[in-house]
Amino acid sequence: MSQPVTARSTLVERLDALYEYDREPVTSKDYHGWKIFWATFAGEHIAGTEFVIGPLFVMHGCTATAVLLGLLIGNFLAVLSWAFVCAPVAVRTRLTIYWQIRRLGGPWLTVAYSAVYGVVLCLLAGSMLRVSMTSIVLPFQHSFVASGEVPQWMWIVLALAVGSVIALLAVLGFEGMAIFSKLSAPWMVAVFIMAAIATLPLLGCHSLGDFWRVANERIWTGVTSIDPTSGRPFTKYTIWHVIGFAWLCNMPQHFGMADLTILRYARKWQMGFCSSAGMYLGHYCAWVASGILCAAAIAQGIKTDPGPIAYLGAGLAGALCVVVAGWNVASPTLYRAGLALQVATPDWKRWLVTLVVGRAMINCACIPALLAHHDLLVTTNALLLLPLGAFIFIDLWLFPRIGLQPNYAEQTKALISWPAAAAWILAMIFSLVAFSYQASPIFLVLPEWIVAVVLYVILSAVQQKLLTPSPLPAAANA
């Protein structure tokens, strides 16, 4: 089954070789129980971005009810998506998303998916690097910059220095970084919680009875802040924005099916509910905590970047938490981006691709708007990758019921499934047009999913019923 990668190997052969060891479905001896999934989800969803997203709700003028209730509902929807959309597919197929897309869309579609995913990961790694830099810059801010405003050249120098270390770590020791990431997860939860508790008195909250008043009057006041990059107020967010954002934040993982890679090891589909650990520790507690830190920073006249707010909340431990949270994600993300983009390079070694991707990450980290508009980055990520997850879902559950052939590209040995490619592109064009008419990208996710599914079903029916003269053997349905 293994194919040697030679200088003459094709793009598709190189891509297949990268994922060679995940080609077969997971066997029952490798299934995991509940404990490993609780821990995995809890560890994966506490990262540097939590220091960015919590403050965004404050700056976008959310009310306390919108945040506290909206996050409760939005995260619940995300848990349901993992449990009822992603996990059942994972335990049914036991394959990674890569091989699932390969079966339904053909090798060229997986190349396109890998390239898009690689670019998205590059931007996310750049964002993580920027988060770390906001903490590392603190000593320089106090020592060398009289105005307290760090000049752009200093950000560039820091991005080069810190980014080079992260890129080197991604090349040398991805596994070590991944282990360190898991070891630090419980500590990061503790830092978020303690920073929020210790910061509340700075906002005038001295007892539990004060909390609701302070939450409404001092934290989530409903007043929008000024966007530092454009000088205009941020868009006003309502409870619907909060619900939508909490749900779509991990859309590529659940509706987009990227977590097939993890959940294919689950003994039962019900283990998808373990995602609640990540959602309610990381995307509820940590977002609420960082929102409190942001409000305290505004009250104290401190910048609302992750580094300064964490330092205010927990001193050196808080600043360290920002660095760790950023690096923990940046390094493996960079590794995965390198892996995804390796296919598009002419037989380059993995280390060379990772270093080139590292350079792109450094460039991205120099963009000041990356943190202020992190919500847009997350939403775009969801919109780009969502349709392919929708195709996997429909291919598995709907196609056999309406007389269409699942995994049609695999059965016909096609290089690309044109219905999947066309539906993916047209669904994204639909979102782009809607966005150009001022539609909030947060509310485009569900419409895009519906458009992608409808187009994929219609185009597949045209392909299989009208354009294919002879039916495939029934055994191919298996």
In the complex, the residues that contact another protein under the rule CB under 8 A are 19, 22, 30, 32, 36, 39-40, 96, 98, 174-175, 178-179, 182-184, 186-187, 190-191, 193-195, 197-198, 200-201, 206, 261-262, 264-265, 314-318, 320, 339
DSSP state, residue 232: S
Nearer to another protein, 25 or 201 (CB): 201
- Alpha carbon distance 450, 427 (integer Å): 9
Q: What is the dihedral of CA 316, 317, 322, 328, to 10 degrees?
A: 130
- N- to C-terminal Cα separation, the chain: 21
Taking the complex as a whole, the smallest distance from the CB of residue 128 to another protein amounts, in Å, to 17
Residue type, 352: L
Nearer to another protein, 177 or 457 (CB): 177
DSSP state, residue 47: S
Taking the complex as a whole, the smallest distance from the CB of residue 214 to another protein amounts, in Å, to 12
Tokens of 316: 């050196």
The candidate with the shortest Cα–Cα distance to 458, out of 401, 419, 412, is 419
Nearer to another protein, 65 or 261 (CB): 261
- Alpha carbon distance 416, 11 (integer Å): 14
Taking the complex as a whole, the smallest distance from the CB of residue 371 to another protein amounts, in Å, to 24
The dihedral through the CA atoms of 103, 105, 106, 109 has a sign that is negative
Nearer to another protein, 178 or 376 (CB): 178
Taking the complex as a whole, the smallest distance from the CB of residue 133 to another protein amounts, in Å, to 20
- Alpha carbon distance 454, 233 (integer Å): 37
The candidate with the shortest Cα–Cα distance to 81, out of 246, 266, 265, 321, is 246
Taking the complex as a whole, the smallest distance from the CB of residue 190 to another protein amounts, in Å, to 5
Nearer to another protein, 117 or 237 (CB): 117
- Alpha carbon distance 262, 41 (integer Å): 10
Taking the complex as a whole, the smallest distance from the CB of residue 23 to another protein amounts, in Å, to 11
Helix 107-136 to helix 152-172 angle, to the nearest 10 degrees? 130
Taking the complex as a whole, the smallest distance from the CB of residue 354 to another protein amounts, in Å, to 14
